[in-house]
Structure 1
């Protein structure tokens, strides 16, 4: 049997994409991963990526042998997985802890309810803005704004979403708020949530994740 360290998890991503949730979680948890940066959108700009991930989406985490290892494509699930890969972590709320149900709920809420209208807005208002879809883009901007109410109410008397501490739920929701600032939706974000975002992005783990994505090697040549 050959010795040597096992390969590190490999994350295919695009800088600033939803994959930032995974990179951020790895940095916060101290889990060593390798990054493979793709041009955006990879299904068009790096079509060979479809041979690795037929969905053509990012992120994709590969951890272990191709035939038996983990292959994950959901950013919030990857963030949770990496946070617990090396054992129990304060980055997650465990069964039996206060706010366990809320932790699960806000982690899933981040992508399914908050990021979803953002991505549709981006399609209509940014990527296809010359095709006459401005009205649809505005509709999804309003949808995004209305879907922030649950997080806004939760944080009125809390610093973090669950368990009185920073968790993966904050990473997942926090990324959606970061994305809002990048795509022209910041005027839809209440000041309290902007302040929350500022607390999250001041963390060293977030800063390291952003720098890693900037400096990461390009994938697929």
Structure 2
């Protein structure tokens, strides 16, 4: 019998996308929780992932470091096929687009904001932090328009695209970026965090040190 996938992550980090996808799909993973940031507080982790970033999924010879890709990969292992939109479905292009949109377009300005406004605020870069906060809020327009009249992003059901984009909205609430989040996206976030799969993922990660 093959070993189960092992996910290395920090509690509350982007790796939550992967933990959440596994919880929603009932996929058995081994969870290794690291201190944040691992490249400084767990230097031995660099032997597994030279980038020093989380998450990292290890399964046999497979190594994956992108949270949205890992979430999709784990969902394909689920007995619940609804988490992934198949190529023959009409919303397949939208599913791909929003899954990639989550990190490339939405989470990117959040991470820069966090660096300037939270982790290195003693360096006097508050104006840069404010600029990236505004950048993040402006980039929510695509999600806002898509969710006008929809409960979920794609195929009239909850999918990995919701996990990936939803995480960015959850993070916004944690790091002081909620001011510019439209109400429709706050309502969407409430629907997501009320899910049993999300609650199980957070509970499982709570055994380790918080990432923020």
User: What is the TM-score of this pair, normalised by structure 2?
Assistant: 0.96
RMSD value, Cα: 1.2
What secondary structure does 2:106 align onto? Answer: helix
SS of corresponding position for 2:58: strand
Q: Does 1:97 align with 2:89?
A: yes
Matched, 1:177 2:138: no
Instruction: Note the 1:55-66 alignment, pairs <5 A.
Output: 55-64=51-60
Give me the whole-angstrom Cα distance separating, in 1, the residues matched to 2:80 and 2:17: 19
Paired with 2:208 and 2:121, the residues of 1 have a C-alpha distance of: 30
Q: What stretches of structure 2 of length at least 5 have no aligned partner? A: none
For the 8 Å contact 2:116–2:128, the answer to whether it is kept is yes
Report matched runs for 1:157-196 at 5 Å: 157-196=149-188
Relative contact order higher in (CA < 8 Å, ≥ 6 apart) = 2
- Post-superposition offset of 1:86: 4.4
Correspondence 1:135-174 to 2 at 5 A: 135-174=127-166
The equivalent residue for 1:48 is 44
Whether the aligned pair in 1 keeps the contact of 2:15 and 2:67 (CA below 8 Å) is: yes
Q: Post-superposition shift, 1:96? A: 1.4
Deviation at 1:88, TM superposition (A): 6.9
Contact 2:10 2:208 in 1 (8 A): no
Task: Show the counterpart of 2:14.
Answer: 18
Q: Does the alignment pair 1:36 with 2:36?
A: no
Q: State the match for 2:121 in structure 1.
A: 129
Q: Unpaired segments of 5 or more residues in structure 1? A: none
Aligned to 2:23: 27
Aligned-partner Cα distance in 2 for 1:211–1:87: 22
Partners of 2:80 and 2:201 lie apart in 1 by 21
CA deviations over 1:150-170 (Å, ceiling 9, x no partner):
000000010000000000000
Q: Contact 1:35/1:216 (CA < 8 Å) preserved in 2? A: no
